[in-house]
Amino acid sequence: MTPDVSIASAHGIAMPRILYGTAWKRERTAALVEQAVALGFRGIDTACQPKHYDEAGVGSGVAAALQRGVARADLYLQSKFTPLNGQDPQRIPYDPKATLREQVTQSLHRSLHNLQTNYLDGLLLHSPMATPAQTMEVWQAMEQLCHEGLVKQLGISNCYDLEMLAYLHHAATVKPVILQNRFYAATRYDREIRAFCREQQILYQSFWTLSANPAILAHATLHGLVQKYQRTAAQLFFRYLSQMGIVPLTGTTSALHMRESLAIFEFELTEAECEAVGALL
């Protein structure tokens, strides 16, 4: 990955500046992942959560891409441990009666099997646990997987409580280097949390980025840039975010939109233009 299309985490792991998200793809997952990689995506986000993800389908799509000549080392594969309250009771990918540590370990090995790989580039806790103590119990199990070389780096998702994130960062031995959150107005676009992330070298990944922000995409500021750059409003918003150090996810099923998302690195917004777009958040 070239410097402009990747960003290094605090652990020195290269992460693409835009990721392909695989939630809700169901039976189309394998074909869409294969297509995304063929078109140029090198970062894939998934989860060991059959309720919302077909992780084995992601693995099939990745395997097809590898057969076409893409190297595993050039891919960034990221999955998640999803706690019981986020699972379909009929399709839990680990023993629900096991200890939290065992659940994390079983989930990780299921992910490795699903994705047909012997390591993950990133493992995220899908959401904080019910208590800080439980969160740390899960985190310490994730840390052990890092020590064993099965996971390169750790992060957390759906964490909108700055105190919780700060507690985790302070208490962890293997520090979180990724935070993946919804990017929308209801949380004031995580301004305070993103400031903490910048201070602590935590990469912020955004999801629901386009769906939750139709007003921004329709704003005159974006449309003025559309005319100047001859790009779509979505491309301009993604480009702004990437220049701000945010790594957006896109889950598009459209080959055209995949190509457009990858093309955001063909142009660059000026500092004044970034300030104008930033004023909308």
Q: What is the DSSP string of 103-115?
A: HHHHHHHHHHHHH
Residue 222 lies in a domain: no
Domain CATH for 33 = 3.20.20.100
Residue 203 lies in a domain: yes
What is the distance between the alpha carbons of residues 99 and 151, in angstroms, rounded to a whole number? Answer: 20
Overall domain count for the chain: 1
What is the distance between the alpha carbons of residues 67 and 80, in angstroms, rounded to a whole number? Answer: 25
Say if CB 110 and CB 154 are below 8 A apart.
Answer: no
Measured CA distances, 273 to 76, 85, 119, 222, 269 (Å): 30, 42, 40, 9, 6
Q: Given the DSSP bridges, would you call strands 6-8 and 14-16 parallel, antiparallel or unpaired?
A: antiparallel
Cα end-to-end span (Å), the chain: 30
Residue 78 lies in a domain: yes
Which range marks the domain in which residue 147 is found? Answer: 13-213+247-252
Residue 1 lies in a domain: no
Residue 206 lies in a domain: yes
Say if CB 108 and CB 81 are below 8 A apart.
Answer: yes
- DSSP-assigned states of every residue in 4-15: GGEEE-TT--EE
Enumerate residues 6+ apart whose C-beta is below 8 A from 75.
37, 42, 43, 44, 62, 65, 121
Q: What is the mean pLDDT of each run of 10 residues along the chain (281 residues)?
A: 82 97 98 98 98 98 98 98 98 98 98 98 98 98 98 98 98 98 97 98 98 98 98 98 98 98 98 98 96
What is the distance between the alpha carbons of residues 7 and 149, in angstroms, rounded to a whole number? Answer: 22
In one-letter notation, the amino acid at residue 264 is: I
Residue 273 lies in a domain: no
Residue 115 lies in a domain: yes
∠ CA 214-53-181, rounded to 5°? 45
Residue 173 lies in a domain: yes
The pLDDT assigned to 3 comes to: 56
What is the distance between the alpha carbons of residues 137 and 141, in angstroms, rounded to a whole number? Answer: 7
Q: Is the pTM of this model over 0.85?
A: yes
Quick one: CA dihedral 41, 197, 191, 136, positive or negative? positive
